[in-house]
Amino acid sequence: DVKVTQSSRYLVKRTGEKVFLECVQDMDHENMFWYRQDPGLGLRLIYFSYDVKMKEKGDIPEGYSVSREKKERFSLILESASTNQTSMYLCASSGDRGRMNTEAFFGQGTRLTVV
Amino acid sequence: AQKITQTQPGMFVQEKEAVTLDCTYDTSDPSYGLFWYKQPSSGEMIFLIYQGSYDQQNATEGRYSLNFQKARKSANLVISASQLGDSAMYFCAMREIAGNNRKLIWGLGTSLAVNP
C-alpha cells in the first residue's frame, strides 16, 4: 500500500522557533509537494520538488524553505515561526513525470499551532 | 489563467440518495487532467477519480462518476447511493500539460453532509 508519512500529526511551537516538518514517501516518486490549508482558502502550494536537491517556489513560499537531500524525504522548514503560520500542513507526492493521470498521494497532515 | 471554481461551499444529501458536486475550470491548454479528492475530518486527502481532457468516456469509480462537459468546462462529481461515511470536504483539481505539469490547481472545496 502506497504511503506518505508526515512526522507529526499535531505540533505546538513558540514564536521565533525554527520548525521542521518532515515527509517521507515509499513510492519512489519524483515529485513532492508541501501545501498549507486554511479555512476558506483551500490548499495553497508552498514549495515543490521534482528531483533530489531540486526545489521550486509555489504560490506562498515566504517564510518557508525546503530541503530534499534524498528522493524519499522532503522537509519543510519554518525559519522563524510566526503566529500567522498556524495552519494545517499537507505533504504530497506524485510519480511518472509527464503522465497526466498520475494522482498525488497525501500524508495525514500536520496541524501546527504557533503560540 | 488556470482556475478551478467550486460554487457550493456546503451541500446536504439524504442517505442513499445521489448528489452532484459542481466543478468548473478555466484553461487555455487543450490537454489537461481533472481530479477529485475527498478529505474526511481526519484530514487526509483521498484520491477519488480522474478525467483526462481527451477521454471519450466519463470516468467512473464505484459509486463515483464524473459528469464531464468539455464545452462548458465543467467536471461535476456524482456520488450515487450516498453513505454516512461520504460526509467530508470534496476538492476538484486540475493539472495542465503545458508548462509545469507537476502542479495541481485546486478549488476551494465543497463540504458534504449526509443525513441519516
pLDDT tens profile A24-63: 999 999 889 999 999 989 999 999 998 898 899 999 999 9
pLDDT tens across B33-90, in order? Answer: 999 999 999 888 999 999 999 998 999 999 999 999 999 999 999 999 999 999 999 9
pLDDT-wise least confident of A59-73, A84-98, B70-84:
A84-98
B102 contacts A97? CB cut-off 8 A: yes
Q: How far apart are CA A5 and CA A18, in angstroms?
A: 21
Judge residue B34's burial from the number of C-beta atoms within 10 Å of its C-beta, 0-12 exposed, 13-18 middle, 19 or more buried.
Answer: buried
How far off is chain A from B35, nearest CA to CA, in Å?
8
How far off is chain A from B107, nearest CA to CA, in Å?
7
Set of cell numbers at residue A80: 522563524
Predicted confidence at residue A43, as pLDDT, reads 94
pLDDT tens across B99-113, in order? Answer: 556 788 999 999 999
pLDDT band at B2 (very low <50, low <70, confident <90, very high): confident
Q: How many CB pairs under 8 A join A and B?
A: 53
> Percent of chain A at pLDDT above 70?
93
- Among A2, A6, A30, A43, which would you mutate to test the B interface (most chain B Cβ atoms within 10 Å of its Cβ)? A43
- Taking only residues 78 to 107 of chain B, the set having a beta carbon closer than 8 angstroms to any beta carbon of chain A reads 91, 95, 97, 100-104, 106-107
pLDDT-wise least confident of A42-46, A64-68, A93-97, B32-36:
A93-97
Question: Which residues in chain A are closer than 8 Å to B52, comparing Cβ atoms?
Answer: 100-101
